[in-house]
């Protein structure tokens, strides 16, 4: 069997809140709960990690990037544990696993010009052997991404638009050529008309440099547009996986169904027909310990749902859901 | 790319660092005034020997009996003379030189220690953080004044450097604390994550990513440290606990009180040092506030200046 | 029926060291009673500034250069402070951007609502309390919410509390600026439906400002598309989505990713900077149908068909 590019095995991450001086109660928030999935090695894929806020998707992103340690579980990159990579072969891991984050302003150090994000990467990863080579690499890569070096280089971050800054991050990817990039809400802070350009650039990179991508978002419209496969998260647990199109067109898990039915469609002829019950959006929820993660809101809830946690099972070929409806 | 020498990269770093204040200097009135006044004071301090040489015709400002005592202000003696026959303006400029120097040196040492500890404490946490927090807590709990006074009295004769060092040792945690909280908040910024994924080491991140963004606080911290040091030193002198071989503005104030200058109508010898001290404080504080406003533009609207 | 609000040639500029920033530059439209009127556009187009101007919430360095804002035939720009204060909250209500995060964290929901009632009317406290609870019910919140603190509520609930507060005194017009931007998709749906409900069950007119065109498609009756401080198109939501007149509107609708679409096309180029509006039609540098005249003359906003306006030289 071919070795997957990335494999997560039973990754769990707990955060402790409060309980400092014995004045407040110490609460454990389980951001990621027994998460396991793989990214295949042979063909570059774009995998969408979809979920609402609090679903744990950003936590998983940071764990994969090595910015956060999991409470338990393993993350294997090309078969080797990430912890081992970071200890013995850190530069290689960093070179191969990169990130694109949401905030196109915060990602740049306001003290320096934007060129620095490109040149620093070239320097740190030894991508060029001379200053001239570095310069020509930068110019070529920018042109390849449809950006004009004359307009952008030498500027400070606040002088560029959000869209330009995010696309410059893609130029950085073109230079570094990582095998995997983790993009967390990469387009949510840029204008709609520019989003497609960014997403098209991303898919272009996937073909050009054989780069896989984990695209994290809460926006199913974008996930549908850009990804090949999809994983749906709810409160830190995986509830459904499969190829993107079928998951969105025929969702299996009730949570996914709820999510899909709430997507605003940009077509006034296709408006929502149902209304959201206030019960769906009630008070801040405290995690229920036993039972299915969605049992308190599920329209198809059965007695067993409150007692046992449904395992992720293969319902149809290539499609899995964690729901007792499909036992 | 490996061949980039330390000197070249240090120079580039310095250039970027120096360019930032210039960027904001253009937009801020308060900083301009503060820097202007400070520059004048700085020039006076540097050229004090020359100025005094000229004014006093070669006599040392503190030599007793150079002139007739208790002369009122006149064209030859702008601020008159004191009870021991010394030109008041000459004394004040001389004292300013020492007060200012001690303040700057103490401020520099204090800020230098402060930054290093704060950067380590803020970024790496762990034992560095423990050291800083213990030191700061000690400063808060243990009364510094009596200890400093005792030490000052014990070391009867000091150079300005020893004095500055003494002051710095007792004041560095304050600056460090402010910088540390800045560092801790900067640590959470997305560009730090980007730096980590670009395989920058912790040291590189601390100095290249965090330090430049902490500089404005450094400027403010330095200004505060200098003002604090001058105040502490003046206070020591005023109660007679200052080292006997250094004459600062504080010393002058003490002499004025001791020799009953006001009673004799020679209030200038008390007012002049105070006035110069106030000028120094105002100029540093203006720079402080100006820096603050430049980095928090909203403040400008509120103060309306 | 007469429009409830009519804006005529409104210009809102900001003073800066570079000269005047022409944020809103000659905008005219009218809002009918009992409709949800959408104002859409990307960042920098001026929509937030526009509604702040309509409510006279522009502070220096911004200023209203010229124009008329007729609310029930009174020009809001000529009203005195006292009259304006009386109109605010009772007839014109505002839900600013990010307002769900500006609930007072140390007061219970009910207290905040009662405070705003007693600040604007002479109603006794008991009556005010009863009215607050009634409003909470109106937006679909359970009565328990009244005694809770803001931090105990989820994002969607906080936003509904804000809506409840905005309709406390039964205003005729509510202006909501990006009310659902920070919310999860299911919560977004419920809040959008609350807003549509204001029109359906309470006869309130809503001006809905958002950059997300899909949200407009779900609840809005008529809509304005703004670009670079000017209006590109006005029309019913069906008209704009299916058969847009202005090239920008057409491209914008085509650029929205959707699960109903297989591919999307972006709009090349960048939104222009307010310091440097292009000459002639502001969209011409990015427009695939640009003609020579487009770079010289600004197209006026014309009524092309009944109720449909567009500013484009193609529509002569």
User: A40 to chain C, minimum CA–CA distance in Å?
Assistant: 24
H helix and E strand count, chain A: 12, 12
**Most A CBs within 10 Å: which of C46, C100, C215, C259, as the mutation test of the A interface?**
C259
**pLDDT (0 to 100) of residue C272:** 84
**pLDDT (0 to 100) of residue B25:** 47
How far is residue C133's CA from residue C140's CA, in Å, rounded to a whole number?
A: 11
**pLDDT (0 to 100) of residue B269:** 79
Tokens of A21: 């001086």
Other Cβ atoms less than 10 A from the Cβ of C79: the count is 16
The string of pLDDT tens digits covering residues B75-114 is 777 777 777 778 888 888 888 888 898 899 999 998 888 8
Q: Is the dihedral of CA C265, C266, C267, C268 positive or negative?
A: negative
Interchain contact, A262 vs C213, CB within 8 Å:
no
**pLDDT (0 to 100) of residue B3:** 38
In sequence order, what are the residues at sequence separation of 6 or more whose Cβ sits closer than 8 angstroms to the Cβ of residue B200?
A: A120, A124, B208, B209
Tokens of C235: 């029309």
**Does any CB of chain A come closer than 8 Å to the CB of residue B205?**
no
**pLDDT (0 to 100) of residue B237:** 85
**pLDDT (0 to 100) of residue C227:** 93
**pLDDT (0 to 100) of residue A47:** 95
Looking at every residue in chain A, the average pLDDT score rounds to 87
The string of pLDDT tens digits covering residues C64-91 is 999 999 998 888 888 888 888 888 878 8
Give mean pLDDT, residues B181-206. Answer: 89
Sheet holding A72-77, edge to edge: A27-39, A6-17, A72-77, A80-81
Chain A residues with CB under 8 Å of B200 CB are 120, 124
**pLDDT (0 to 100) of residue C123:** 86
Interchain contact, A128 vs B194, CB within 8 Å:
no
Tokens of C249: 């509107």
User: What ipTM was reported for this prediction?
Assistant: 0.87
Which residues in chain C land under pLDDT 70? none
In this prediction, what percent of chain A has a pLDDT beyond 70? 94
In sequence order, what are the residues at sequence separation of 6 or more whose Cβ sits closer than 8 angstroms to the Cβ of residue B261?
A: B82, B83, B255, B267, B269, B270
The pTM (predicted TM-score) of the whole model is: 0.80
In sequence order, what are the residues at sequence separation of 6 or more whose Cβ sits closer than 8 angstroms to the Cβ of residue B54?
A: none
**pLDDT (0 to 100) of residue C27:** 93
Q: Which ranges of B142-248 would DSSP assign to H, the alpha helix?
A: 144-154, 160-186, 190-197, 202-204, 211-238
In sequence order, what are the residues at sequence separation of 6 or more whose Cβ sits closer than 8 angstroms to the Cβ of residue A280?
A: A258, A297, C186, C190
Distances (CA, A) of A166 to A203, A225, B38, C304: 15, 18, 44, 39
Other Cβ atoms less than 10 A from the Cβ of A180: the count is 22
The string of pLDDT tens digits covering residues A48-58 is 999 887 788 88
The least confident of A127-131, B36-40, C151-155 is: C151-155
List beta partners, residue C14: C21, C62
The residue among C179, C178, C187 whose CA lies nearest residue C153 is C187
In sequence order, what are the residues at sequence separation of 6 or more whose Cβ sits closer than 8 angstroms to the Cβ of residue A157?
A: A105, A108, A109, A110, A114, A165
The string of pLDDT tens digits covering residues A260-312 is 998 998 888 888 888 776 554 455 555 456 788 888 788 888 888 888 888 88
Domain boundaries, given as residue ranges, for chain C: 5-91+171-315, 99-170
Report for A318-322, B42-46, C131-135, C232-236: range of highest mean pLDDT: C232-236
Nearest by CB to A264, which of C43, C187, C215?
C215
The string of pLDDT tens digits covering residues C282-308 is 999 999 998 899 989 899 999 988 889
Any idea how long chain A is?
A: 327
Other Cβ atoms less than 10 A from the Cβ of B157: the count is 9
Domain boundaries, given as residue ranges, for chain A: 6-326
In A199-238, the residues whose Cβ lies within 8 Å of chain B are none
Give mean pLDDT, residues A245-264. Answer: 92
Other Cβ atoms less than 10 A from the Cβ of A297: the count is 18
Which of left, alpha, beta for A44 (phi over 0: left; psi -120 to 50: alpha)? beta
The residue among B235, B243, B225 whose CA lies nearest residue B159 is B243
Nearest by CB to C156, which of A225, A270, A281?
A281
Half-sphere exposure in the Cβ direction for C99 (13 Å, CA): 19
**pLDDT (0 to 100) of residue B4:** 43
Cα angle vertex B299, ends B294, B302, to 5°? 145
Nearest CA in chain B to A65: B197
The least confident of A312-316, B57-61, C174-178 is: B57-61
Looking at every residue in chain B, the average pLDDT score rounds to 78
**pLDDT (0 to 100) of residue A211:** 93
**pLDDT (0 to 100) of residue B198:** 92
Compute the count of residue pairs across chains A and C with CB atoms less than 8 Å apart. Answer: 147
- Top CATH class of C5-91+171-315 equals alpha beta
**pLDDT (0 to 100) of residue B295:** 64
Interchain contact, A52 vs C186, CB within 8 Å:
yes
The domain defined by A6-326 folds into Rossmann fold (3.40.50)
DSSP for B61-78 reads TT-TTSS-TTPPP-SSST
**pLDDT (0 to 100) of residue A24:** 67
pLDDT band at A1 (very low <50, low <70, confident <90, very high): low
Helix (H, G, I), strand (E, B) or coil at A301: coil
How far is residue C207's CA from residue C233's CA, in Å, rounded to a whole number?
A: 16
Interchain contact, A101 vs B200, CB within 8 Å:
no
Interchain contact, A281 vs C187, CB within 8 Å:
yes
**Most C CBs within 10 Å: which of A262, A263, A264, A272, as the mutation test of the C interface?**
A264
**pLDDT (0 to 100) of residue A94:** 93
The residue among B94, B87, B91 whose CA lies nearest residue B45 is B94
Walk me through the domains of chain B, giving residue ranges and CATH numbers.
Answer: 28-57+76-303 (1.10.3720.10)
The residue among A158, A134, A138, A156 whose CA lies nearest residue A148 is A138
């Amino acid at each position: 069997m071919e070795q997957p590019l990335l494999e997560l095995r039973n990754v769990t991450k707990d955060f402790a809140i409060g309980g400092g001086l014995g004045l407040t109660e110490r609460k454990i928030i389980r951001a990621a709960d027994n998460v396991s999935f793989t990214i295949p090695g042979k063909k570059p894929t774009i995998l969408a990690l979809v979920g609402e806020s609090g679903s744990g998707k950003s936590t998983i992103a940071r764990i994969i990037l090595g910015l956060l340690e999991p409470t338990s579980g393993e993350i294997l990159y090309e078969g080797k544990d990430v912890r081992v990579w970071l200890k013995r072969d850190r530069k290689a891991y960093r070179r191969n696993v990169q990130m694109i984050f949401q905030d196109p302003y915060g990602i740049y150090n306001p003290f320096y010009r934007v060129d620095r994000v490109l040149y620093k990467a070239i320097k740190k990863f030894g991508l060029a052997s001379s200053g001239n080579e570095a310069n020509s690499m930068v110019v070529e890569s920018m042109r390849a991404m449809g950006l004009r070096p004359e307009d952008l280089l030498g500027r400070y971050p606040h002088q560029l638009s959000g869209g330009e800054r995010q696309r410059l991050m893609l130029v950085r990817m073109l230079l570094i050529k990582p095998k995997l990039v983790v993009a967390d809400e990469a387009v949510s802070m840029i204008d709609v008309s520019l989003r497609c350009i960014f997403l098209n650039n991303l898919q272009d990179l996937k073909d050009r440099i054989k780069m896989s991508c984990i695209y994290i978002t809460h926006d199913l419209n974008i996930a549908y547009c850009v990804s090949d496969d999809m994983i749906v998260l709810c409160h830190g647990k995986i509830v459904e996986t499969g190829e993107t199109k079928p998951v969105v067109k025929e969702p299996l898990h009730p949570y996914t169904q709820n999510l899909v039915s709430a997507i605003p469609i940009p077509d006034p002829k296709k408006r929502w027909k149902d209304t959201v019950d206030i019960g769906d959006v009630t008070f801040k929820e405290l995690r229920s310990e036993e039972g299915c993660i969605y049992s308190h809101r599920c329209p198809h809830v059965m007695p067993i749902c409150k007692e046992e946690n449904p395992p992720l099972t293969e319902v149809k070929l290539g499609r899995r859901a964690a729901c007792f409806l499909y036992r | 790319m490996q061949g980039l020498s330390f000197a070249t990269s240090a120079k580039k770093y310095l250039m970027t660092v120096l360019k930032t204040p210039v960027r904001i200097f253009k937009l801020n009135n308060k900083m301009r005034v503060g820097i202007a006044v400070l520059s004048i004071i700085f020039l006076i301090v540097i050229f004090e020997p020359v100025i005094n040489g000229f004014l006093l015709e070669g006599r040392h400002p503190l030599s007793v009996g150079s002139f007739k005592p208790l002369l009122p202000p006149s064209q030859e003696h702008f601020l008159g003379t004191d009870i021991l026959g010394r030109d008041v303006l000459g004394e004040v400029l001389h004292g300013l030189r020492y007060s200012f120097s001690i303040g700057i040196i103490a401020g520099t040492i204090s800020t230098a220690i402060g930054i290093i500890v704060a950067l380590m404490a803020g970024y790496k946490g762990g034992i560095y953080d423990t050291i800083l927090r213990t030191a700061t807590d000690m400063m808060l709990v243990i009364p510094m004044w009596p200890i400093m006074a005792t030490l000052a009295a014990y070391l009867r004769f000091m150079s300005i450097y020893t004095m500055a060092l003494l002051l710095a040792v007792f004041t560095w945690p304050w600056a460090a604390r402010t910088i540390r909280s800045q560092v801790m908040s900067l640590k959470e910024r997305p560009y730090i994550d980007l730096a980590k994924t670009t395989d920058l080491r912790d040291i590189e991140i601390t100095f290249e990513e965090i330090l430049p963004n902490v500089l404005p606080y450094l400027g403010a911290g330095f200004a505060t440290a200098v003002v604090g040091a001058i105040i502490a030193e003046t206070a020591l002198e005023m109660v007679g606990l200052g080292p006997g071989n250094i004459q600062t503005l504080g010393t002058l104030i003490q002499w004025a009180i001791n020799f009953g200058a006001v009673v004799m109508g020679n209030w200038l010898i008390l007012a002049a040092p105070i006035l110069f001290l106030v000028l120094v404080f105002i100029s540093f504080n203006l720079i402080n506030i100006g820096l603050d406003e430049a980095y928090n533009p909203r403040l400008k609207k509120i103060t309306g200046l | 029926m007469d429009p409830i609000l009519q804006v005529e040639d409104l210009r809102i500029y900001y003073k800066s060291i570079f000269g005047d920033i022409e944020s809103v530059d000659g905008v005219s439209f009218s809002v009918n009673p009992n409709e949800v009127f959408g104002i859409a556009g990307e960042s920098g187009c001026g929509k937030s500034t526009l509604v702040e101007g309509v409510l006279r919430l522009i502070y220096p360095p911004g200023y209203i250069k010229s124009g008329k804002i007729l609310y029930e035939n009174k020009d809001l720009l000529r009203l005195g402070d006292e009259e304006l204060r009386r109109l605010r909250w009772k007839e014109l209500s505002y839900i600013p951007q990010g307002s769900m995060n500006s609930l007072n964290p140390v007061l219970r929901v009910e207290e905040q609502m009662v405070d705003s009632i007693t600040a604007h009317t002479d109603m006794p406290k008991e009556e005010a309390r009863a009215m607050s609870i009634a409003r909470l019910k109106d937006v679909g919140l359970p009565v328990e919410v009244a005694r809770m603190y803001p931090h105990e509520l989820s994002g969607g609930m906080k936003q509904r509390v804000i809506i409840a507060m905005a309709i406390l005194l039964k205003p005729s017009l509510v202006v909501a600026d990006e009310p659902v931007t920070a919310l999860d998709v299911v919560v977004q749906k419920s809040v959008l439906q609350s807003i549509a409900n204001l029109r359906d069950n309470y006869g309130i007119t809503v001006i809905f400002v958002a950059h997300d065109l899909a949200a407009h498609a779900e609840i809005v009756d008529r809509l304005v598309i703004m670009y670079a401080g000017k209006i590109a198109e006005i029309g019913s939501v069906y008209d704009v989505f299916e058969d847009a007149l202005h090239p920008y509107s057409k491209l914008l609708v085509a650029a929205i990713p959707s699960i109903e679409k297989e591919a999307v096309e972006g709009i090349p180029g960048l939104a222009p900077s307010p310091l440097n509006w292009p000459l002639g039609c502001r969209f011409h540098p990015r427009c695939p149908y640009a003609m020579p005249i487009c770079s010289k003359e600004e197209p006026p906003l014309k009524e092309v068909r009944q109720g449909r306006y567009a500013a484009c030289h193609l529509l002569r």
